[in-house]
Amino acid sequence: MNPTALRKLIVTELLLALREPGAMFMSVILPLAVFLALGFSVGVIEIPVERDAGVVEIFHVRDVLLAGNIAWVTAVFGIVALPQTLVEFRQHGIFRRYRVTPMPSYMLIIAPLAVGAVIVVVSLALMLVVGWLALSIRFGGNAAMVGLAILLSYLAFAAFGTAVTARIRNTRTALGLGLVLFAPMLVLSGAFGPREAFPTSLQLVGDWLPLTHAYDLLTFLWLGATWETETTIGVPVWVSFVYLGVVGAVCVVASVRLFRWD
Amino acid sequence: MSREPSDALAVQVTSLRKVYGDVVAVDDLSFEVERGSIFCIIGPNGAGKTTTIECLEGLRQADSGAVLVAGLDPIADHTRFVHKIGVQLQEIGIPPRMKVREALHLFAALYRTSLPLSELSAELELDGFLSKRYGSLSGGQKRRVNIVLALVGDPEIVFLDEPTTGLDPESRFRFWEYIRRQNARGMTIVVTTHYLEEAREYCDTVLFLNEGRAVMAGPPERLIAESGLAARVVLPRAALGALREGDLAALPSVAHVRGTETSFYVYGDGNVVGEVSDFLGERGASPGVLEARPASLDDIYFLAVGPEGPEGGR
């Protein structure tokens, strides 16, 4: 496999992704719109963050909206958009067609992952720029830790989506399943409203959903949480890291075992 | 069971067998394709053409038997194998939102060498829709795109599964002209078709498959000569009163008679036209009603695989 071919594959797949308005809307337009809508309404609510030696730093809801949005953008990509590509390849015999070319099969997984990474970064960059210009948002955390958390949740959701659709041969079925899995996760994660408002049983379900962990992880890290800080789930940040890693690893193993090329 | 790889042979198939559940798709099939030849697999729907070609492409694993393509095992030697072959599948194989030009450039980039895209695109008439999305093309246009993608890497051996189905006569002609040119440069062509006249005109060797088995194989002209069939005569029933198949079959020159609702199809050696004509004269029917023509590959085919006739493949 030569580098030119891989580059060409990624560029071509990026073009294909841009021609899928639904996925672009979900991954770029919707998060930006939600960010602005909430930013200009509830964005002014104060969030006091305790620092060492009892110092309290005041952030606002608008500062942290973006981090939560990026959590569910990675979930949309992994659970809805990526399976659309992979299932379409399976449904239309595209994996089979590539298998009789010199392209190694793993490139067909790497390319859409690279495309998804570009889309997530663009979505993040857009919210950052717009948020900085329109809402004067502030960042109180460690950029490397936030980046690591985004990467981890991106990979965990990609593995999850790939595993659950590993044998589906119809893009509509995959889309339906993706939305059925994603929508409750989104609501129960607290991304669209505080989890405290839910009945205890739903809060407990939410505690086990990977999106809740990704959401808490990113919002807390954005405001400067450390490994030991306890999140709304009631566990330290590092536990959510490990939990997402375990979900990702289990799903990778399941994908490898279940995945069908045709 | 396997054989020594041979440099003179592009494909060596020995006792190939492939079963799907209870259905035996290919059974005890053995054949060889010479390097630099045009080899055609013909057979009715369900004869095992696509299964056979997909075993050659490494897309299906045979249940037993051996396949060597360019001296390589298509599955065990996959990495080297894919550089030597080009493939056109019957199914879609291209993302519907990908533009034709993008597909050509992407596939060209996958191979170490490639045929000039502008020439391929012009010869196989893709120029009119290079900017269109694959999903919006007609069946014939999709077929042509897939043929070009099979050829673009300038393979040693190209496998084409019903390449001319759905093409208009002009496109079929241009396709075969281009294939012959590539063949003259040394490319081996393995093709399935259900157009027998194409097989006779363009292919060096034909293999007739029926129910997963080889019925006969060889150069088309030789098969016709060896069949002993020289001519086919068609008689309209309406002109012949109470004539029965048995009456015609009893004539010494007649090899086979097929009766349909409207006509008798009479196959036989060089004397068949004269004999049938005399026979009609004796019965008071006008010999003018008979239509005769030299035997063709179609006739051999019908006699070999039965009256269903060639349709799509699997």
- Residue B306 placed within a domain: no
Same structural domain for residues B30 and B64? yes
Q: How many CA atoms lie within 13 A of A117 on its CB side?
A: 14
CATH code, domain with B116: 3.40.50.300
pLDDT band of residue B296 (cuts 50, 70, 90) is confident
Positions in chain A whose pLDDT score sits under 50: none
| A122–chain B Cβ distance below 8 A for any pair | no
Query: Are A4 and B109 a contacting pair at CB < 8 A?
Result: yes
In chain B, positions 93-112, which contact chain A (CB-CB < 8 Å)?
93-98, 102, 105-107, 109-111
Determine contact, residues B39/B189, Cβ cutoff 8 Å.
yes
Backbone angles phi and psi of A231, in degrees to 5: -100, -175
CA B251 to chain centre: 34
pLDDT at B148: 96
Query: For residues A150 and A73, what is the distance between their CA atoms, to the nearest angstrom?
Result: 10
Q: What angle do CA B103, B108, B114 make, to 5 degrees?
A: 145
pLDDT at A31: 93
Percent of chain B with pLDDT over 70: 96
Q: Report domain extents, chain A.
A: 3-258
Question: Residue A86 is encoded by which pair of tokens?
Answer: 């992979």
Query: Are A100 and B58 a contacting pair at CB < 8 A?
Result: yes
For chain B, the helix, strand and coil percentages under 3-state DSSP, each to the nearest 5: 35, 30, 35
* CA distance readout (Å), A40 to A67, A101, A135, B112, B169: 16, 52, 8, 56, 65
Q: Does residue B309 carry a pLDDT above 50?
A: no
- Nearest by CB to A100, from B87, B91, B105: name it: B87
Question: For residue B54, what are the domain limits?
Answer: 9-224
pTM for the full predicted model: 0.87
Q: Does residue B305 carry a pLDDT above 80?
A: no
pLDDT digits (tens, 9 = 90+) for B91-147: 778 999 999 999 999 999 999 999 999 999 999 999 999 999 999 999 999 999 999
pLDDT at B311: 35
- State which residue of chain B sits closest to A262, comparing Cα positions: B59
pLDDT at B312: 34
pLDDT digits (tens, 9 = 90+) for B259-274: 888 888 888 888 888 8
Q: What is the ipTM of this complex?
A: 0.87
Determine contact, residues A34/A136, Cβ cutoff 8 Å.
no
Q: Does residue B213 carry a pLDDT above 50?
A: yes
SS3 B194: coil
pLDDT band of residue B3 (cuts 50, 70, 90) is low
Q: Does residue B286 carry a pLDDT above 80?
A: no
- Residue B304 placed within a domain: no
pLDDT at B306: 66
Same structural domain for residues B143 and B238? no
| A97–chain B Cβ distance below 8 A for any pair | yes
Domain count within chain B: 2
Q: Region B18-43: what's the mean pLDDT? A: 94
Same structural domain for residues B280 and B175? no
- Residue B300 placed within a domain: no
pLDDT at A169: 95
